[in-house]
Chain A
């Protein structure tokens, strides 16, 4: 079976790291490059985390530091959720690889230009690198097969009542990507807050008993703390849902939808406005995941953890 060439673009981040754990464990995906975004922490921290996570998981692909800040907005980070390092919790190996001397979008462009088949991008942070790629190298757009992204929320937000963090912090980049015509798989808060992993599931993953499984369980312990304090019964594993959309769409409820990004607004900057009523008459630009079979999702996590002997 031919593997799908994949670029990992994210801001690890506990849930980014677990998403990458799923990707590395899959025999359907071939990771060609890793690029970082600022978001869960500063670009320096998320890039260091990306190198540590790739070392832990054995991801052997070039890593490039992404854009240091959003296209035009001031940078925002989420240290309240992911800690000072952006990936607090268990000790991680020191990186065995360095970054390549290219901007994130430049590495993306090189991988796309060299690939004979369409490349998928897994975007689990802000969309700054992808937007820069589309602005600077529009000719490689046709080499992007699709983008599976974690971001937005059709019914509600999290960083503001209307907007989700990843798309809010660079709403202009999100707007460029949503208007690009590239096939988009959107896993927003509608589905990712239902991808709840419960403390008993953390222990099932820990019992897989290898270094990756134990680290994932410890990440979940840390990631759950913030969410428990605001009323969650488990850790909502946002970013891994974007991997599920690529590998196991059969456990998701999906809907084709026209979605626009609000870049202005007093309350709604960064909001994903979905045309549920078909009012605009515009063709869908997004396949949005709206629900997930939670038990099947947890089984996928346990199976993937068992890949790392």
Chain B
């Protein structure tokens, strides 16, 4: 499995050939790579950002998604297998939001890829608010709402357990 770690610093071309993309930063580069047709080998994208609960840079939004909500919405709906591994579970590894930094995101992402059975996940619909003011950058899920999105094909990681019974 060829895992490419993206920090949203390189050129989109660097992503070609990646089977799995572990996205630690904003999704601008990954979205561009998708739009340029460079992700032919890619089957899944693990997004280490977003939040089904509340945000960290605004009450609604997680920082990486907030920096480029349109790119995030593109990535979430590119049709590949997309997993949102954001603040909901990252907060279980850090005493405060300030300590959720890139090395932590990478550590949790690599653990998820290696030992997915340690995590509790839910399959649901997710859309990114690309407009508005108070909610701009929010990753809206439909896991608890009576009304569901028509497309419910995102895996959201909610929690980590230590006894291997998450699934």
Interface residues of A, Cβ cutoff 8 Å to B: 155-162, 230, 258, 260-269, 271, 273-277, 279-280
Contact B132 A269 (CB under 8 A): yes
Contact B140 A280 (CB under 8 A): no
Residues of the B chain whose Cβ atoms lie less than 8 Å from the Cβ of A156: 141-145
Q: How far is the CA of A275 from the CA of B97 in the complex (A)?
A: 14
- Most B-side CB within 10 Å, residue of A258, A261, A266: A266
Contact A279 B145 (CB under 8 A): no
Kindly provide the distance from the CB of A120 to the nearest chain B CB, expressed in whole angstroms: 27
Q: How far is the CA of A276 from the CA of B58 in the complex (A)?
A: 10
Contact A264-B133, Cβ < 8 Å, known A155-B53, A161-B140, A161-B141: yes
Helix, strand, loop or mixed for chain B's interface? loop
Contact B146 A230 (CB under 8 A): yes
Residues of the A chain whose Cβ atoms lie less than 8 Å from the Cβ of B149: 161
Contact A161 B130 (CB under 8 A): no
Helix, strand, loop or mixed for chain A's interface? loop
Contact B134 A260 (CB under 8 A): yes
- Most B-side CB within 10 Å, residue of A159, A162, A271, A280: A162
Contact A265 B136 (CB under 8 A): yes
Interface residues of B, Cβ cutoff 8 Å to A: 53-60, 97, 125, 127-136, 138, 140-149
Kindly provide the distance from the CB of B151 to the nearest chain A CB, expressed in whole angstroms: 12
Residues of the A chain whose Cβ atoms lie less than 8 Å from the Cβ of B57: 279
Contact B56 A279 (CB under 8 A): yes
The contact of B54 among A157, A262, A265, A277, by CB within 8 Å, is A277
Contact A161-B129, Cβ < 8 Å, known A273-B60, A273-B134, A275-B59: no
Contact B145 A265 (CB under 8 A): no
Q: How far is the CA of A103 from the CA of B136 in the complex (A)?
A: 36
Q: Which residue of B lies closest to A259 (CB)?
A: B59
Starting from the known contacts A156-B141, A264-B133, 5 additional A-B residue pairs (CB-CB under 8 Å) come to A265-B136, A266-B129, A268-B135, A268-B138, A271-B138
The contact of A155 among B97, B129, B144, by CB within 8 Å, is B144
Contact B140 A273 (CB under 8 A): no
The contact of A262 among B53, B134, B144, B148, by CB within 8 Å, is B134
The contact of A266 among B55, B130, B142, by CB within 8 Å, is B130
Q: How far is the CA of A263 from the CA of B134 in the complex (A)?
A: 8
Q: How far is the CA of A274 from the CA of B58 in the complex (A)?
A: 10
Contact A280-B59, Cβ < 8 Å, known A161-B145, A162-B140: yes
Residues of the B chain whose Cβ atoms lie less than 8 Å from the Cβ of A157: 145, 147
The contact of B127 among A155, A267, A269, by CB within 8 Å, is A267
The contact of B59 among A162, A260, A263, A267, by CB within 8 Å, is A260
Contact B127 A276 (CB under 8 A): no
Q: How far is the CA of A160 from the CA of B149 in the complex (A)?
A: 8
Contact A267-B146, Cβ < 8 Å, known A276-B59, A279-B57: no
Residues of the B chain whose Cβ atoms lie less than 8 Å from the Cβ of A280: 58-59
Q: How far is the CA of A262 from the CA of B136 in the complex (A)?
A: 9
- Most B-side CB within 10 Å, residue of A155, A265, A271: A265
Q: Which residue of A lies closest to B69 (CB)?
A: A266
The contact of B132 among A161, A230, A265, A276, by CB within 8 Å, is A265
Listed by A's residue number, 19 A-B pairs whose Cβ atoms lie within 8 Å are: A156-B145, A158-B146, A160-B147, A162-B135, A260-B134, A262-B134, A264-B131, A265-B136, A266-B129, A268-B134, A268-B138, A271-B60, A273-B59, A273-B138, A276-B54, A277-B55, A279-B57, A279-B58, A280-B59
The contact of B140 among A230, A267, A275, A277, by CB within 8 Å, is A267
Q: Which residue of A lies closest to B96 (CB)?
A: A277
Contact B129 A265 (CB under 8 A): yes
